[in-house]
Amino acid sequence: MSRKFIATVLAASIAITSFSFAPARAASDDDVAKFLFGIATLAIIGKAIDDHDRADRRRKHEREVTAYPKPHKRKVLPRRCLTRAETAVGHKRVMRAKCLNRHFARADRLPQACRLPYWTNKGRKPGYLMRCLRDRGYRVQKN
């Protein structure tokens, strides 16, 4: 159930229970003070519930905004290792594994799912599909 609905029902029940089945009489200063105190109490409770709801919405919004990871420098691959080559899935942009081992400190931590051999004039060579690496957060160094 919604918090506003519950707050309304609570306020109405408190207001109704404050009435008594007594014969009608003129309101005294004491009765007016009690009535105003009750109204002020209900207003304070309603405001506290509303502030709590706003804080929840604000926290939820902050979590949604910060959900995207920032790019890390350790995920920037050297441009010199990028080439176009014939792979099992056609001509693709490939990062050469041997070049990455020489020029990229974290080459051993590249995702194995992206590893795919490519063919050159000298035979089959190991490499990584650039599109697959890019989908996993890696970028090519800008020159």
Name the helix (H) or strand (E) containing 143. Answer: none
Are 85 and 31 members of one domain?
Answer: no
Are the beta carbons of 83 and 92 closer than 8 angstroms?
A: no
Distance (Å, rounded) from C-alpha 103 to C-alpha 46?
63
Are 12 and 45 members of one domain?
Answer: yes
Are 52 and 8 members of one domain?
Answer: yes
Distance (Å, rounded) from C-alpha 137 to C-alpha 70?
9
Asked which of 44, 65, 86 is the last residue of a domain, the reply is 65
**φ, ψ at 101 (rounded to 5°):** -60, -35
**Pair of tokens at residue 125:** 């060579």
Are 56 and 8 members of one domain?
Answer: yes
Asked which of 15, 36, 65 is the last residue of a domain, the reply is 65
Q: Classify 94 as helix, strand or coil.
A: strand
Could you tell me the residue range of the domain that residue 131 belongs to? Answer: 73-140
> Tens digit of pLDDT per residue, the chain (143 long)?
577 778 887 777 777 766 656 666 666 778 888 888 888 888 888 888 888 777 666 666 555 555 555 556 678 999 999 999 888 888 889 999 999 999 998 889 999 999 999 988 889 999 999 999 999 999 998 87
Are 50 and 96 members of one domain?
Answer: no
Are 84 and 58 members of one domain?
Answer: no
Q: Give me the number of domains the chain comprises.
A: 2
Are the beta carbons of 58 and 49 closer than 8 angstroms?
A: no
Are 77 and 61 members of one domain?
Answer: no
Are 44 and 24 members of one domain?
Answer: yes
Are 59 and 87 members of one domain?
Answer: no
**Pair of tokens at residue 15:** 């207001």
Are 7 and 46 members of one domain?
Answer: yes
- Burial code (b: 16+ CB inside 10 Å, e: under 16) for 2-28 equals eeeeebeeebeeeeeeeeeeeeeeeee
Are 46 and 85 members of one domain?
Answer: no
Q: What pLDDT is recorded for position 7? A: 80
Asked which of 11, 40, 65 is the last residue of a domain, the reply is 65
Are the beta carbons of 93 and 130 closer than 8 angstroms?
A: yes
